[in-house]
Structures are given as C-alpha cells and as structure tokens.
Chains A and B, each alone.
Chain A
C-alpha cells in the first residue's frame, strides 16, 4: 500500500511540474510583450534587460494613440472583421441548412467544393487575388478585404456548421412542418436556437480569422488609411529599426479582442467542438 502511495505522490509532483512548465512556456512571451509595452525607452534599450522593470510608464500607449495612426488601423480592423463575420455567418447558415436539410441536385458537389476551398491555403491564391482586386480597382479599399476574407471564413464556417446542423434530429422540424411552418421559419424557430452556442463559437473564430489576417491585408492595402492592425503595426519602424515600444503596446491592444473572445469560446471548445479547428 505504501508504494502505491509513493507512486501517487510522484505522479502529483510530476503533474504540477508539467503544469508550471506549460504555463511558463505559454505565458512568458506574453508577459514580455506587456512588460516591454510598459518599460521606458532608456531602460528598454539597455544591454542587460531585467526580467522585472524598475519603473513603469504609459508613454508608449500615449504615443500610440496621439502620435501614430494606430486608431485608424484599429477602426479599420473592427470594421472589416465585424462586417466580414456578419456576412459570412448569414450566408454560411443558409448554405449549411440547405446542405443538411434540403434535397437538391449538386448538393454533394458543393459540399465537396466547400471542403476543398477550406483546405486551400492563401499562400497559393494571393497573387491572382491581387491581380483580380487590382482589375476591379479595389486596391487600397478596405471593403475589398471584406470580399476577399469571405473566401477564408465562409468555407470554415460552412464546414463547422454543417456538422452542427447534421447533429440536430430532423424530428424537431417535422413537428414544425406539421404546424405549417416554411423552411425558413423552421430554420429560424427550430434550428437556430439549438445551434446557437455552436454558431457563437463559429462567429468567434470567424471574427478572429479576419482580425488576425496578414498576407492579403499586406498585399492589397498599401495606404495607411486603409490598413488593418496586423499590417499597420509592422510599419512602426524607422527604416530597419523597429520602434519596439510602439510595437509591443499596439500588439497588446491588438491581442485583446481575440483573447477575450477565445476565453468566452473555450468552454465550448473543450467539449469536443474544436475538431476542424481554425487555420493557424
């Protein structure tokens, strides 16, 4: 019995050591970002940085909001991510309903196409997308990002919603049909309330995908007035010298919306809904 207790204690110790290492590994860079954003410049550019700052300052944040174009980038990002998500969710709900509940020709074909579109990386598409957007005269127009991001967000949203909708028993709607409901009404009254948590998670990820997107935004938006946060932040530099105070403080603010939404979504994620996942 004693050796069993030994094993038990050893296991406990191992678990706590691993947990601490996991937390340190995951959080240290985030700590360092926040610490750097609050460190005065003279201390930041010392040859021996210390783990804990001796003084804290909000100078970088002040400079960010008063002397840089960060607010423009931020508002552009909010605008693009919110509208992209709204459009994508509405279109994906309708399409996913059609693909799980309605019988029509070409259904399987579209389903396959959505899946392949979901897998197609932006690295293959960005040059022709640049050609297309410039032919349409939409370079340096942030609305172009809303259109282009649909190619990333909608396939993902459909892929996830199709599996949520397929899991909802059909008998629930059949009762509604007996009462004379149309398909659209059945969707709104029966499916949507049941699928609401799933839809919320998909909307969360759709928002963060558009919020975080960098490659298309960099290629398509070259003027600061149209740039989003990921591209704008990278411009905080004098030629090759990065302005680390501004970059770290803006990075911290840029992280907040996505982190808050992930915290909210994570209790749904651990119940096995993460499968499929988000493009990294």
Chain B
C-alpha cells in the first residue's frame, strides 16, 4: 500500500512539473491577454494614452455602423463559400488519389504544394497574377477571347472578395484532401467487396460505405477549417488590404485597421470580441465531435 501511495505521489509531482510550462503559457500568455481584450473593448484606449472606461459605447458604435455589418457579411460569405468549395474539391481529389493510376504519387506531391508554401507567398503570387496591367490571368483570358479588356480583379467592388476567395480555396483544398485521403485509406476493403457482392453500384457504395466511414474526419476538418477561414487575415490583408472601400474587408482585417491604422484600440477590440460568440459555437461543436469520436 505504501508503495502505491509513493508512486502516486511521484506521478502527481512529475505531472505538475511537466505541465507547469503549458499552464503558464496558456493562462498567462494567452488567458491574461484574452481577458484584457475583453476589458479593452469597454474602454477608449489609444496607443500611448491610458484607457478610460466607456461602457458599451464601442459596441453601440460598431453595431450601429453599416460598415461593420458589411464586413461581418463579407466574413460570413467568405467563410461559407470557401469552406463548401474546399470541402467538395478536397473530397473529389481525395477520391481520385485513392484510386491507383500511373502518376498518382506525382499528382499527390503536386496537390500538396499549395498547402506547403507560406500563405504570404501564395497571396503575393496571386496578387501578381491578378495584376490588371501585367497579370497573366487577364492575358490568358484575352488570348482565349473570353474578355477583350482587362478585368480589375482586385480593384473592382464586385470582384475583390471573389478574387481573394479563389486564393483561400487554392491554398485550402489540400488540407481537406489529405485529411480525407487518410480516412479513405483506412476503410476496410472487405466492406467494398461485400457491397459489390450485394450488387451495390458506385453511387450506392459511395453513400452507404465511403461517406459514413469518412464522416468523422470530414466533420472535424470542416469545423477546424471554418474557424481558420472565419479568422483569415494574411490572405486578404496582403492581396487587397480589405479594399476597395471595404469590399473585401473581413473581421480580422477590420480589427487591425481600427486598432493600428485608426489607432482606436477600443473599437478594434470590440470588433474582435464581437465574433467570440460565433467562435464559441464552433469550438463547442468541435469539442462535441471529438468526445463522440473518442467515446
């Protein structure tokens, strides 16, 4: 009995020692700033000046500002469309790479590349391709006689958001592809053989065998990617800066703009805090999915 107790004591001490740095990291380096964020959103803080408590003033001013709602809607549109397209194409290409054909490994490597390069590189390269004077996209469309005059991909109010979405999709497909491919490869072949014997056709096999088997991975990948896409900053900031006139502005770039361009920390933080309810819902969904998977 004494031996058991001493083992337990050792485990407790070691356990606390091994997790102490993580505890400090999460609660001091993340938790404290996070709480401070919420506090700042109730003040009129600007750089170099002390913060004064202003109650709900920042929230009232952003919620009554039509620009905020435009930016919020942009964020929702950006997230929903990007996620749907990334998921559909990620799944299609995962099904493709799960077949055996000549050149499969080269295709796999090629399709991994957009995910492997830094986001900043993807953003700059696409910005250059979108260039309305020297860009290759307009040139190809002109050569194919699809357009006669160059299209201002990033400068037009109607197109800017669409153009940055393409880049997010380009970079994001491999995440879905490789998550789903991993799930596909762990499906037992015997299930398909049994399906074939029972006379199930390709579509029946897909909906009755493949889809249910990869569903947990699809769900968790979709939720994680939704959180990241909803909070995307680099892509939009580097390509359009949110412009023209906030046409491609999303919550993350709008937060930055308020806090660092207009030097209004309080409003910036109110914008950041205003999306926390959305974030909490997504986080709860992820946690639920994980526990149902583990249990």
Which residues of A pack against B, CB within 8 Å? 12, 15-16, 18-19, 22-23, 25-27, 29-30, 32-33, 36, 44-49, 51, 91-92, 94-95, 97-99, 102-107, 110, 113-117, 119-129, 131-132, 147-148, 150-151, 154-155, 158, 183-184, 208, 211-212, 214-215, 219, 229-230, 233-234, 242, 244, 247-248, 251-252, 254-255, 258-259, 261-263, 266, 269-280
Contacts and interface: CB of A to CB of B under 8 A. Distances in A.
A75 to B, nearest CB: 17
Contact of B19 (A99, A254, A269): A99
Contact of A29 (B11, B120, B126, B279): B126
A127 B128 contact: no
Given A16-B101, A29-B170, A272 B185 contact: yes
Contacts, number: 298
Contact of B121 (A110, A126, A254): A254
12 contacts: A26-B114, A32-B136, A102-B15, A110-B19, A115-B290, A148-B29, A150-B25, A154-B22, A242-B127, A251-B120, A252-B121, A280-B225
B23 interface: yes
Interface string B259-284: 11000010011001101100100110
A131 B33 contact: yes
Majority SS at the chain A contact face: helix
Contacts of A148: 29
A103 B113 contact: no
B179 A274 contact: yes
Interface in B1-40: 8, 10-12, 14-16, 18-19, 21-23, 25-27, 29-30, 32-34, 36-37, 40
A137 to B, nearest CB: 15
B218 to A, nearest CB: 11
Contact of A280 (B21, B175, B283): B175
* From B32, B104, B120, B275, residue with most partner A Cβ within 10 Å: B120
A273 to B, nearest CB: 7
B117 interface: yes
Contact of B287 (A12, A115, A208, A277): A115
Contact of A214 (B22, B119, B221): B119
Interface stretch (B64-72, B203-211, B226-234): B226-234
Interface of B: 8, 10-12, 14-16, 18-19, 21-23, 25-27, 29-30, 32-34, 36-37, 40, 92-93, 96, 99, 101, 103-104, 106-122, 124-129, 133-136, 139, 170-172, 174-175, 178-179, 181-183, 185-186, 217, 220-221, 224-225, 227-234, 238, 251-252, 255-256, 259-260, 265, 268-269, 272-273, 275-276, 279, 282-283, 286-287, 290
Contacts of A150: 25, 29
Contact of B25 (A123, A151, A233, A261): A151
Contacts of A277: 175, 179, 221, 224
A131 B233 CA distance: 19
A27 B113 contact: yes
Contact of B124 (A99, A219, A247, A270): A247
Contacts of A46: 134
A27 B106 CA distance: 12
